[in-house]
Amino acid sequence: MPMPPTLTPVQSNIPFMRSDGREFDQLRPIRFQNGIAPNATGSTLIEWGNTRVICAVTIEESVPRWMKEQNVAGGWLTAEYSMLPYSTLTRKPREVSKGKVEGRTQEIQRLIGRAMRSAVDLEKVGARTICVDCDVLQADGGTRTASITGAFIALSLAVKKLMAEGKLTADPILHNVAAVSVGIVQGQPLLDLCYVEDVAAAVDMNFAMTSSGEFIELQGTGEEATFTEAQLQAMLNLGRSGIRRLIDLQNSSVKTS
């Protein structure tokens, strides 16, 4: 069996140009519209380039039965993720109409749940369940990274409200959590892939990290190609710098709400 090609930088006198004109280490424009879902305890609409996701947190004053049966102290956090039928170029049927949740959906909502649980001291939450819902209105690459980044905003706003109401006596937030994609397109490491870049990428990687610099998820795949340690390091550097910028944006958004 022939070995897959190893990625090498493009040898060309023509400067590499991204599809939307960004620099290789530049995020797409990001905006948070907080309070988008008034009935939720905390919510935001994250607009990340042309990707748009509503992230909302609601609180249930109970915990799952397994916690009661096992006498587990504190609360719980769970997450759900969905793509609305009109979020993609061709209609995406609702999964409920198929009678099952797709594997990709399960993977993403479990990742969102793990990421958000890493941000919270669940013992300080008390006997409550934090429900995180992420609904994709428009998909142009990076829906899982936008969901995680926006979900932390919604979670922070929910905690802020609970503390203002006296339902929490101590802030359970341990640190920020954000996520970003990186990849290699035509031999060039890129930060924050949009859809056309994601499709063309020889390597696709997603980062979910805390503000203390620890990894929650690091998932990278060579698409019919391999990548070198130097290219991996370049992507790590891009991912870390992107996460730092995202955390600054999160803090500004929560502070002004």
Angle at 19 between CA 14 and CA 22, to 5 degrees: 85
Residue 211 structure tokens: 């503000």
Which position has the token pair 């096992």? 70
Q: Mean of the per-residue pLDDT values for the chain? A: 92
DSSP class of residue 120 equals: B
Residue 38 has pLDDT above 70, yes or no: yes
Q: Which residue has the higher pLDDT, 218 or 97?
A: 218
| Percent residues over pLDDT 90 in the chain | 85
pLDDT bracket for residue 99 (50, 70, 90):
confident
Could you tell me the two tokens for 153?
């905003």
Higher per-residue confidence, 243 vs 94: 243
**pTM, entire model:** 0.92
User: Taking a C-beta distance cutoff of 8 angstroms, is the pair 39, 124 a contact?
Assistant: no
Torsion sign across C-alpha atoms 257, 155, 106, 233: positive
Interval 138-165: pLDDT, tens: 999 999 999 999 999 999 999 999 999 9
Kindly indicate the confidence band of residue 15, based on its pLDDT and cuts at 50, 70 and 90. low
Instruction: Quote the pLDDT of residue 21.
Output: 93
Please give the sequence-ordered ranges of beta strands (E in DSSP) within 84-228, or none if there are none.
Answer: 129-138, 177-185, 188-191, 203-210, 215-222
Q: How far is CA 101 from CA 6, 59, 90, 92, in A?
A: 36, 23, 19, 13
The topology (CATH level 3) of 30-255 is: Ribosomal Protein S5; domain 2 (3.30.230)
pLDDT for 68 equals 93
> Judging by DSSP bridges, how do beta strands 76-83 and 129-138 pair with one another?
parallel
Whether 11 has a pLDDT exceeding 70, the answer reads no
**Which burial class, exposed, middle or buried, applies to 169 when counting CB atoms under 10 A from its CB (0-12, 13-18, 19+)?**
exposed
CA pair distance 243, 223, nearest whole angstrom: 24
